[in-house]
Amino acid sequence: MLWSQTFLPTLKETPADAEIVSHQLLLRAGLVRKLTGGLYTFLPMGLRVLRKIERIIRQEMDRAGGVELLMPALQPIDIWQASGRYETASGVLFKVRDSARKDWVLGPTHEEVITSLAANELNSYRQLPKNFYQIQTKFRDEIRPRFGLMRAKEFLMKDAYSFDATDAGAMASYQRMYDAYNRIFARCGLQAFPVEADTGVIGGNHSHEFMVPAETGENDVVYCESGKYAANIEKAVSRGSVEATPAESTGAAPERFATPGVVTIEALAAAPYGVSARHQIKTLVLIADSKPMLVLMRGDDSLNEAKLLAKTGAVQVRPATPDEIVALLGARPGSLGAVAATLKTAVPVLADEALRGGRGMTTGANEDGFHLRHVDIDRDLKVGAWHDLRTVKVGEACVETGQPLKIRRAIEVGHVFKLGTKYSEKLNATFLAEDGSRHPAVMGCYGIGVTRTLQAVIEQCHDKDGIRWPVSVAPFAVCLTPLVVTPGSQPMTLALDLQARLEAAGIETILDDRDERPGVKFKDSELVGFPLRVNLGEKSLAKGEIELKPRGGTMRMVPIAEAAAEVIAWVRAESERLGAA
């Protein structure tokens, strides 16, 4: 490819509306252009990278036994109603209406479509297991599309769905995808690691997200340096999550005491009260899917909303308004409590595991300006359900090793999930077993954000000069840079000759034939991030040499006659380092 022939508009200035470095580089390196928030056009260089990532994904999916198909992006709403997600996912669903005033959905994901296919096509245990995948455009009505391709309204996803006859089979399918994902990200040159993820109401421990550590990520990952534990904060536990507050009961009955103006945990912890946060019960009034509930947390803990949703199966939860609280409990926030004797309502009470067995606690008296002390949870509270609902904090002991946990930000690039029979039951994807009985197929689903992965590579592989593409996904492995571009000149002639030889060896090259100063060409090539630049200048050619400059590495001179072999060897070694196909 000649630079002048393609379309590679680099930018010197950092675009003002790009907040994170990978987004800035996407634009500056001429990979994409924004149409409007959350919608991007892929320019030739961006598209080349995208195709390479897709190719790696396809190879690894095929190797893991996946079979590719392609489903429609436009979907009828009846399957969404049947799965129950027309309601529960309505926040992200793009709905469109046709001329006959019928509503449709632009697919944010394809469980409904694939399960409908399976319902019609997979009827016997002999056809199982099957793992279907596609690479396709998804639509999500993200409220705040941002960070370029990271959170877009339209993006490319690889989604796969496995159908098994048995639970053990489904676990094997899950493991194959888990292993394939590790290989895919490694081959893309990405350091991504699997963490335990929220499984929502489906429960179980069979969901992992693949995370790329990055300050700009939107996820918090809790991990132990031993490598034995890593989980999304939405799911993470520590030893502190299961250990109850130590008993400190005086045996006394709950005692009401005046706390005028005290409405926070901190105020009750301060003089003259001095009740440590750990010995307070925080009472939250929440409205989950329009039903009120009380959620009790230890005073020094914070509620993890994802855990609450997962444990209750609620779709949405919000704090009750002050008016709703007064109507329900007869007191304002700051004096609330769940001591049975002070509760005038039959609202469900959920409590965090860390409170279990707590004694000598202090909580609100459901009377403005008053609290209760000497509260023993088992004796004085009527807890309807105990769950792990707290958010793990830095430094708490790892459940596996006891070592202090750390937390870091990360980008979710992939997700594997054992679904069980949730969708196959709802959409009737059953099969006949060998003994003639009929069962719903056991499913798994597996997603990779292809466009997000592309940007995550940039987020991880860049320096002050621009992108540093791993050779496996670089738009071109080699940038040939003749410093004189006049047709027939020695640098240009040699560059064209070298290009022909490299292309013949299967190495993709771009030849910078622009009549620009060397500094401009070098800067652009570094910004776009080609892994190897080959400089052909009159001075070094006169000495019989060509310069090889790996991106981010040191320059090396090689004899003209050996240049092609040297470049081929360099590219092959880099490819192998990343684990070629």
Which residues of this chain interact with Mg ion, rule CB under 5 A?
A: 415
Residue 94 structure tokens: 């793009």
The closest of 286, 344, 339, 296 to 317, measured between CA atoms, is: 286
Give the DSSP H or E segment for 184: helix 167-187
389 and 352 Cβ atoms separated by less than 8 Å: yes
- Of 71 and 152, which has the nearer Cβ to ligand ATP? 152
Burial 189-227 (b: 16+ CB within 10 A, else e): bbebbbbbbbbbebeeebbbbbbbbbebbebbbbbbeee
- Of 219 and 391, which has the nearer Cβ to Mg ion? 219
8 binds ligand ATP (CB under 6 A): no
Interacting stretch for ligand ATP, rule CB under 6 A, among 10-18, 40-48, 238-246, 449-457?
Answer: 449-457
The closest of 416, 474, 408 to 53, measured between CA atoms, is: 474
Candidate list 157, 308, 309, 467; residue touching ligand ATP; CB under 6 A:
157
Question: Min. distance of Cβ 207 from Mg ion in angstroms?
Answer: 8
- Of 282 and 415, which has the nearer Cβ to Mg ion? 415
152 binds ligand ATP (CB under 6 A): yes
Interacting stretch for ligand ATP, rule CB under 6 A, among 300-308, 360-368, 388-396, 446-454?
Answer: 446-454
Give the DSSP H or E segment for 181: helix 167-187
In the list Mg ion, ligand ATP, none, the entry touching 142 (Cβ below 5 to 8 angstroms by class) is ligand ATP
- Of 419 and 548, which has the nearer Cβ to Mg ion? 419
156 and 136 Cβ atoms separated by less than 8 Å: yes
232 binds ligand ATP (CB under 6 A): no
Candidate list 54, 142, 289, 516; residue touching ligand ATP; CB under 6 A:
142
349 and 386 Cβ atoms separated by less than 8 Å: no
436 and 113 Cβ atoms separated by less than 8 Å: no
- 46-49 long-range contacts, Cβ below 8 Å, gap at least 24? 46/454, 46/475, 48/475, 48/476, 49/454, 49/457, 49/469, 49/473, 49/474, 49/475
414 binds ligand ATP (CB under 6 A): yes
Residues that contact ligand ATP, how many (by CB under 6 A): 15
109 binds ligand ATP (CB under 6 A): yes
452 binds ligand ATP (CB under 6 A): yes
Interacting stretch for ligand ATP, rule CB under 6 A, among 242-250, 299-307, 413-421, 513-521?
Answer: 413-421
Within 257-316, the residues that bind ligand ATP by CB under 6 A are none
189 and 457 Cβ atoms separated by less than 8 Å: yes
Residue 360 structure tokens: 């000598």
415 binds ligand ATP (CB under 6 A): yes
560 and 541 Cβ atoms separated by less than 8 Å: yes
Question: Min. distance of Cβ 441 from ligand ATP in angstroms?
Answer: 21
3-state SS assignment for residue 163: strand
- Of 30 and 447, which has the nearer Cβ to Mg ion? 447
Question: Min. distance of Cβ 234 from ligand ATP in angstroms?
Answer: 9
Q: Which residues bind ligand ATP (CB under 6 A)?
A: 109, 140, 142, 151-152, 155, 157, 412-415, 447, 449, 451-452
